[in-house]
């Protein structure tokens, strides 16, 4: 009885502790969002071409933009058709790797956050900087495209 | 009870931060960049409400401020895409620019003026002077044509009143004694 009560108390305290840690909640939600992106890529078939997202640029100008074919590319990468994915969008693999790496990072950083409570602050700073750098490397072509379109078109 | 109040602000901060980061990722993808303004505004509202809660309860604001800053930057990037789309559309001649509208207006005005234009040509050669005057008043010409054809009587009367001094072809002018 005492053992059961102790176990119950432990689970309650861990739950409270978990809810009081915004970093862990953020990590879990981000991991969920990334998983949803992968599920979306797996759910929609590249052969049927029934993606719900429409490119506004293509609709207006009739010409594809830098990010056109990204959903196609993701779907093909999920199915292991890498060469075809490159044809659909050159930067598709880069973006996909960013999301995959982020998924791994969310799990890994959450684990280290719980295991080494003394280094939490350093861990969050490292996560912010690391994720920021990876984000800029992955999305750089898109950002350059937006910048050029805004100032040079 | 106090802890619950603090948590409410904190939860809003987490929600704002997550929404802001998702907005940021969406904003830098040209295809869906414009749509990102919606979660951007939501994130700003969440962060604003969270900050007001935090100010009341003296709870930490780190997550809220981070969420607000990221949301504002992401919304700005997303908003800039409106100009990008506009510029590309202008380039593609599918979005009439202000200049095009002005040109169209001027063209319409000139065509309208030409319809009611009076033209006079003067030629002088070796002391001889020839003057040709004509007007391209469409309505008046049409009315005169109708008069000549003897179509509409009412209209013919009005023309007669207008040009009382001008005798008609068939009318006989009384001779002065």
Dihedral pair phi/psi, residue B34, rounded to 5° = -70, -35
ipTM: 0.77
Q: How far apart are CA A89 and CA A67, in angstroms?
A: 7
Identify all chain B residues contacting A57, using CB atoms and an 8 Å cutoff.
30-31, 85, 88
Identify all chain A residues contacting B34, using CB atoms and an 8 Å cutoff.
56
Please indicate whether, in this complex, the C-beta atoms of A142 and B28 are within 8 angstroms of each other.
Answer: yes
Identify all chain B residues contacting A22, using CB atoms and an 8 Å cutoff.
10, 13-14, 17, 63
Please indicate whether, in this complex, the C-beta atoms of B31 and A67 are within 8 angstroms of each other.
Answer: yes
| A52, A61, A105: best to mutate for the B interface, most B CBs within 10 A | A61
Q: Could you tell me if B50 and B64 are in contact, meaning their C-beta atoms sit under 8 angstroms apart? A: yes
The distance of A139 to chain B (nearest Cα, Å) reads 7
String of b and e for B153-175 (b: at least 16 CB within 10 Å)?
Answer: eeebeebeeeeeeeeeeeeeeee
Q: How far apart are CA A140 and CA A133, in angstroms?
A: 10
Please indicate whether, in this complex, the C-beta atoms of B31 and A25 are within 8 angstroms of each other.
Answer: no
DSSP assignment letter at A63 = S
Q: How far is CA A149 from the centre of its chain?
A: 26
pTM over 0.80: no
Residues 6+ apart with CB under 8 A from B21: A30, B70
Identify all chain A residues contacting B94, using CB atoms and an 8 Å cutoff.
60-62
pLDDT tens, position by position, A47-69: 877 788 888 777 777 778 888 88
pLDDT tens, position by position, B113-158: 766 667 677 777 777 877 777 666 666 777 778 888 775 555 445 5
- Of all residues in chain B, what percent carry a pLDDT higher than 90? 18
Task: Identify the bridge partners of residue B121 per DSSP, sorted by sequence position.
Answer: B132
> For residue B8, what pLDDT is reported?
63
pLDDT tens, position by position, B88-107: 666 665 555 555 676 777 77
Helices (H), A79-119: 82-88, 92-115
Nearest to A149 among B25, B31, B84 (CB): B84
- Selection from A66, A65, A73, A64 nearest residue A40 by Cα: A73
Q: Is B14 left (phi over 0), alpha (psi -120 to 50) or beta?
A: alpha
- Determine contact: B94 vs chain A, CB below 8 A: yes
- Determine contact: B112 vs chain A, CB below 8 A: no
């Amino acid at each position: 009885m005492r053992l059961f009560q102790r176990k119950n108390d432990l689970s309650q305290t861990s739950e409270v502790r978990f809810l009081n840690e915004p970093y862990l909640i953020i990590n879990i939600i981000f991991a969920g969002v990334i998983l949803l992106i992968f599920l979306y890529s797996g759910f929609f078939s590249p052969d049927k071409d029934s993606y719900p997202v429409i490119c506004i640029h293509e609709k207006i100008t009739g010409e594809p933009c830098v990010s056109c074919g990204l959903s196609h590319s993701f779907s093909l990468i999920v199915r292991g058709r890498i060469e075809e994915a490159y044809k659909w969008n050159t930067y598709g693999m880069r973006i996909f790797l960013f999301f995959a790496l982020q998924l791994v990072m969310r799990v890994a950083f959450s684990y280290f956050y719980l295991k080494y409570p003394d280094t939490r602050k350093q861990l969050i700073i490292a996560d912010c900087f690391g994720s920021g750098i990876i984000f800029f490397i992955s999305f750089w072509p898109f950002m350059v495209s937006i910048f050029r379109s805004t100032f040079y078109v | 009870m106090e802890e619950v109040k603090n948590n409410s602000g904190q939860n809003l901060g987490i929600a704002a931060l997550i929404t802001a980061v998702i907005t940021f990722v969406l904003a830098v993808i040209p295809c869906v960049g414009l749509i990102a303004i919606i979660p951007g505004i939501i994130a700003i509202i969440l962060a604003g409400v969270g900050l007001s809660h935090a100010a009341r309860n003296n709870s930490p604001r780190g997550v809220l401020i981070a969420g607000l800053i990221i949301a504002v930057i992401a919304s700005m990037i997303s908003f800039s895409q409106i100009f990008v789309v506009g510029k590309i559309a202008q380039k593609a001649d599918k979005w009439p620019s202000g200049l095009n509208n002005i040109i169209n207006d001027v063209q319409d005005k000139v065509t309208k003026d030409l319809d009611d234009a009076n033209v006079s040509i003067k030629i002088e050669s070796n002391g001889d002077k020839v003057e040709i005057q004509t007007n391209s008043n469409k309505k008046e010409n049409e009315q005169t044509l109708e008069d000549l054809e003897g179509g509409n009587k009412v209209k013919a009367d009005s023309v007669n009143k207008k040009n009382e001094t001008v005798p008609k072809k068939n009318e006989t002018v009384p001779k002065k004694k």
